[in-house]
Chains A and B, each alone.
Chain A
Amino acid sequence: MLLSIKNLHAGINGKEILRGVNLEVNKGEVHAIMGPNGTGKSTLASVIAGREVFDVTGGEILYQGKDLQKLSIEDRAREGIFLGFQYPVEIPGVSITNFMRTAVNEIRKFKGLDQLPAGEFLRMMEERKRLVEITSNLTNRSVNEGFSGGEKKKNEIFQMAMLEPTLAILDETDSGLDIDALRIVANGVNKLRRPDNAFVVITHYQRLLDYIVPDFVHVLFQGKIVKSGGKELALELEEKGYDWIKKEQE
């Protein structure tokens, strides 16, 4: 089992958002988490990544058998957890090249590996850029600074390709994307899918799931996973909307 979440309760400033989430993810699987706005999808992603503004008030998250709550944000990342941000942060003055080189080398150091020589690193950048079909020269620019919405999301996928996570959580990576950008993002994910990694794709719409075909679909509603199923569940949601779930819960 790669990720095992049991009865997870979490909130912010004393307000409970997650009210007993249960989720199990195995290697090789793609899970989609869907649900209306404000039901805790992004909170779940943030809590797995270790964002400090959220308090975990109950339950547990096990990742590769380890209690994630005991790990710092960076150690979770070094252990292979990647969060694709819904709103990637702009960091003026830090180039993507330096950012990625620092990240790759810190992760390598954590794993007891030597730093990647500059030439090898640059080759890796070029290769991954091609893999995720980034043609523009994003990498010399400051991280996300002045990027369009689509560029920011492509940059998230590029970073994912660079860091090769074991568990990638993509938080509404599809929001605000036109169809071409959506295709690039989805292709990136599909190319990176392997038997030894897993994806949790958080999305509001079924649209992305036309491109990234999930093994499981879960519906998060009022802080709980209220429904799980195969990819056909997404189609059902698309057809009936979330009112159907809401009614069922009432």
Chain B
Amino acid sequence: MLTNIQETITPKRLTDLFEKNRRLLFRDDTAVLSAIREKAFASFSKLGFPDTSLESWRLTDLQESFSRGYDYHLQPAAEVDVQKVFRCNIPHLDTAIIGQLNGWYVSKDVPLMELGNGIIMGSLAEARKKYPALVEKYYGTVANDAIDGFTALNTAFAQDGVFIYVPDDVKSPRPVQLINVIHDDRNLFLQSRNLIVVGANAKLSLVHCDDSYNHQASFSNIVTEIHVGEHALLEHYKLQNLNNNSTLVSTVCFNLEASASLESHYISLNGGLLRNNIRVLFNGPHGNANIYGIYLMDGKQHTDNQVFVDHASPDCTSNETFKGILDEHARAIFNGHVLVRRNSTKTDARQSNKNILLTDTARVNSKPFLEIYNDDVKCSHGSTTGQLDQESMFYLRQRGIGEETARMLLMFAFADEIVSKIAIPQLRQRIEDMVKKRLQGELQICEQCVLHCSSPEHPVDFKIDLGKI
């Protein structure tokens, strides 16, 4: 089924769409999931979309994005040439690949893979049917309609997406790559829903890419709910490489149990409008979360990172470091909000946002914000925005390094504080290459995904060789 709504997206059109398709949407729901859906729909009907009257949306106006007009698919495309869309991965990195096309899970063989070590991964729609109790235990517990209209809408319409389950005590031997490709010859509005569960004492590395392969407009409302069990570790890499006509509202909710660790990396290389809602909940003591972000924007690109860390338990540590380089008319917003609740003693929370503006017309609004209801805490926040350091430029050029190369070197060094934190060497190398290409203005759409390689691998030829020797 294809619903043609190539007109401005409005809450009314979506609630009508929902009502008209109730049977289809509720078809595979258990009683619990159906109640969640119904409640989310009621919330969305009441909330609608957030607008610029809300503080957290004050600087990101979606009206233009909504007005482009999109189709909405209530069923996946009948035939997908999987080989064509997802045929490669990061060189020398042995990964399990999960593909999504326009928000729908696509598979070469089975909709849900069950590996020997108990790991389950595949389609969320399938998991709801096959493992309803497992899904119900986690689904919608932290990513729910209470967050905002987008999450409510996603929860109301949620049909498919990715499900990953790593049982207790299992360390996933290889990283999992979740690739969401948006590719259609018409404008698409799409919503996918991902649920990831990392059991107690378990470990998972997850590389999550959002990519587009053409210049068609799209609007994605993607909600990812991630549960990290006690003493578990999640390494999370979110790569965004979308075309300039795309709008992405990504909401990722991390729920960290006692002594859980999260290392999250947001790497935004391209996109028309990228909105990242990053929510971390410390649901038990001694949790640790490091959230790093780098955004490299130019043209009229707009990026908005909203990081909310809820220190709801004592003895937890969080560290947010976001950095951005903005060229031309690009715009970036960073809102960090750390909430330290009354009983959360010994909280250690840091926030930092640093930006380089390459032009007079690029803009940044940065607001690191601490809300603290406990005295026994260590919290810090800071924000800087400036140009490339002229002293450093002079120093480099005085050694014979050309102006353009010196700029590249400084920009790369600035970004590298984030990129160097990537724990998987092959991935780090690949992202370094992409950052270099991006800074040189050579990262092309259609060859930009970290995983895309319809052409053979070429090492990135950077004019200045920054490779470690």
Contact = CB atoms under 8 A, between A and B. Distances in A.
Contacts of B464: 102
A77 interface: yes
A93 B414 CA distance: 7
Interface in B393-435: 394-403, 405-406, 409-410, 412-414, 416-417, 420
Contacts of A92: 413, 417
B402 A101 contact: no
A74 B413 contact: no
Contact of A94 (B390, B397, B398, B413): B413
B400 A93 contact: no
Contact of A121 (B395, B398, B468, B469): B469
A83 B466 CA distance: 24
Given A72-B403, A74-B400, A159-B399, A102 B465 contact: yes
Given A89-B395, A94-B410, A106-B402, 20 more contacts: A53-B390, A74-B400, A74-B401, A74-B406, A77-B397, A82-B398, A83-B398, A85-B398, A91-B410, A93-B413, A94-B413, A97-B469, A98-B468, A102-B405, A102-B464, A102-B465, A102-B466, A103-B396, A103-B399, A118-B469
A49 B401 contact: no
Interface residues on A, range: 35 or more
Given A73-B394, A89-B391, A102-B465, A94 B402 contact: no
A13 to B, nearest CB: 15
B8 interface: no
A91 B392 contact: yes
Given A89-B392, A91-B396, A102 B401 contact: yes
Contact of B395 (A52, A85, A105): A85
B413 A103 contact: no
A88 B468 CA distance: 23
Interface in B376-391: 389-391
A146 B416 CA distance: 18
Interface in A64-110: 72-74, 76-78, 82-83, 85, 88-89, 91-95, 97-103, 105-107, 110
A234 B383 CA distance: 49
11 contacts: A49-B394, A49-B398, A53-B390, A73-B398, A78-B400, A89-B394, A91-B410, A93-B417, A99-B399, A101-B469, A142-B413
Interface residues of A: mostly helix, strand, loop or mixed? helix
Contacts of B402: 74, 106
Nearest to B413: A93
A82 B412 CA distance: 25
Given A74-B402, A91-B413, A98 B395 contact: no
Interface residues of B, number: 29
A51 B394 contact: yes
Nearest to A80: B400
A103 B405 CA distance: 10
A88 B405 contact: no
Most buried by A among B402, B409, B410: B402
B440 to A, nearest CB: 15
Given A93-B413, A93-B417, A102-B465, A163 B399 contact: yes
A12 interface: no
Contacts of B399: 77, 82, 99-100, 103, 159, 163
A98 B465 contact: yes
Contacts of A49: 394, 398
Most buried by A among B391, B400, B409: B400
A124 interface: no
A122 interface: yes
Q: Which 6 A-B pairs rank lowest in CB-CB distance, beginning with the nearest?
A: A93-B413, A77-B400, A73-B397, A103-B399, A89-B395, A107-B400
A51 B394 CA distance: 7
A106 B397 CA distance: 10
A29 B300 CA distance: 56
B201 to A, nearest CB: 35
Given A93-B412, A94-B409, A121-B469, A163 B417 contact: no
B323 to A, nearest CB: 11
B449 to A, nearest CB: 26
Contacts of A82: 398-399
Nearest to B389: A89
